[in-house]
Amino acid sequence: MLPSRAAERPGSTTPQQPPPHGGRCFSQDRWRITCPGCCSRAGESSTTAAARFRAVAANSAPGAFRVLVVPSAGTPFLSRPSDVHATSVRCRVQSWSEIVITVENLTKTFPGSTGQVRALDGVNLDVAAGTVLGVVGPSGAGKSTLARCVALLERPDSGAIRVDGTDLVSLGGPALRAARRQIGVVPQGDSLLRQRTAAGNVALPLESAGVPGPQRRTRVAELLDLVGLTDKAGSYPDQLSGGQRQRIAVARALAASPSVLLADEPTSALDPDTTGSVLTVLDRARAELGVTVLVVTHDMGVVRKICDDVAVLEDGRVVEHGKVLDLVADAASRTAASLLPAVDQNPAAEGAYDRVADVVLVGFAAVGALLPEATSRFGVDLNLLGGGLTRLGETPVARFRVGLNGERADSALEWIAEAGGAVRRTLAGPQGVAA
């Protein structure tokens, strides 16, 4: 049976437990709780905070308290409160780079009218615990097939799917049913039972699992609270908006405390406002319950708002995969092309500069300070010729086309790159070479 990731919310105390986190790092004799999300230093980007936390984790003694860190949402929770009660604490700091889902060389073929359709063609993917992964790609790329395979609703032809280390493909009988309970699914489209109330829909998986009435009611109330629909408990699906129905579907998928939540196009039929409320709920599931979320979507806005990682599928293959904030720094990536502000060509304006470059800056500190500092350090004249600012999750990100005049223009660009900016010289302009 897969270990449950059902989490305690921070703040519940017994004499043996550490005090509520209170939004600050603290350490005591045996406890050390550190998280970059709520303890980011002023002006620190989440990337820098993440690197700092990793260093803390690497240097932590085995007695360190186990904390799941949620970098962007900033709500840490004690992942195994029972560990606190142990006389000899053997927990470890769990970094979010711990892998919860591994997909290895997955293939799936369907019979088609003109021969076999290879929906998945050797897919490899790692998903880190407590992250939100966006699976994107054109229609027919294999996104839903991948999600269905991970949810064990579809058997792959070959390959492995490990969730918390267990290869799901090799399971059968009760072990398979137990593994399925660890994966909550929000299916594509309207999936609620019309004849049941919102609370009745959420309770369904608990009834199937034989959870007794009083516990069931408590759990349903918690889940309705999580998705912000306590007041709709008695409403029927037809009395709810599309977004509210999707939030109930998320609550239902979370009922059995899964470690993984799969949502296939959860916002495809929704307007932008309603989309936001559904995405907030997915983000809360990750932040407050520590669930790893895999969201299939056509909409790069979903990636922009809640995804830590993204996998781009095309013709059944993963053609790009990584952290969103890393991929946007690579100008050639599809993710950068979709998420960063466009830079219009303006050869006339660019011709007036000694050097012209595209610079991607990630995080508060970089966006706010790097270019002015380069200007003053190197005594160059630096102007913004195009591009702009955006936000990826909570992180501000900028792509600017900059023009520089001055003897030390090259040094200024090199310094920006060393300080964490992604610098790509354009072929336009007098320097004529791409760095």
Ligand X SMILES: Nc1ncnc2c1ncn2[C@@H]1O[C@H](COP(=O)(O)OP(=O)(O)OP(=O)(O)O)[C@@H](O)[C@H]1O
Contacting residues toward Mg ion, per CB under 5 A: 144
Using the minimum distance from each CB to ligand X, give the nearer residue, 117 or 331. Answer: 117
Contact footprint for ligand X (CB under 6 A): 110, 112, 117, 119, 137, 139-145, 298
Q: How far is the CB of 314 from Mg ion (least distance, A)?
A: 14
Q: Which does 139 bind (CB under 5 to 8 A by kind): ligand X, Mg ion, none?
A: ligand X
Q: Residue 435 and residue 418: Cα distance in Å, rounded? A: 14
Q: Which does 409 bind (CB under 5 to 8 A by kind): ligand X, Mg ion, none?
A: none
Using the minimum distance from each CB to Mg ion, give the nearer residue, 72 or 144. Answer: 144
Q: How far is the CB of 117 from Mg ion (least distance, A)?
A: 14
Using the minimum distance from each CB to ligand X, give the nearer residue, 26 or 110. Answer: 110
Contact indicator for 99, 128 with CB cutoff of 8 Å = yes
Q: Which does 26 bind (CB under 5 to 8 A by kind): ligand X, Mg ion, none?
A: none
Using the minimum distance from each CB to ligand X, give the nearer residue, 235 or 338. Answer: 338
Q: Which does 18 bind (CB under 5 to 8 A by kind): Mg ion, ligand X, none?
A: none
Using the minimum distance from each CB to Mg ion, give the nearer residue, 144 or 274. Answer: 144
Q: Which does 145 bind (CB under 5 to 8 A by kind): ligand X, Mg ion, none?
A: ligand X
Contact indicator for 426, 434 with CB cutoff of 8 Å = yes
Using the minimum distance from each CB to ligand X, give the nearer residue, 141 or 362. Answer: 141
Q: How far is the CB of 159 from ligand X (least distance, A)?
A: 15
Q: How far is the CB of 117 from ligand X (least distance, A)?
A: 5
Q: How far is the CB of 189 from ligand X (least distance, A)?
A: 11
Q: How far is the CB of 158 from ligand X (least distance, A)?
A: 16
What are the structure tokens assigned to 83, written together? 């560990």
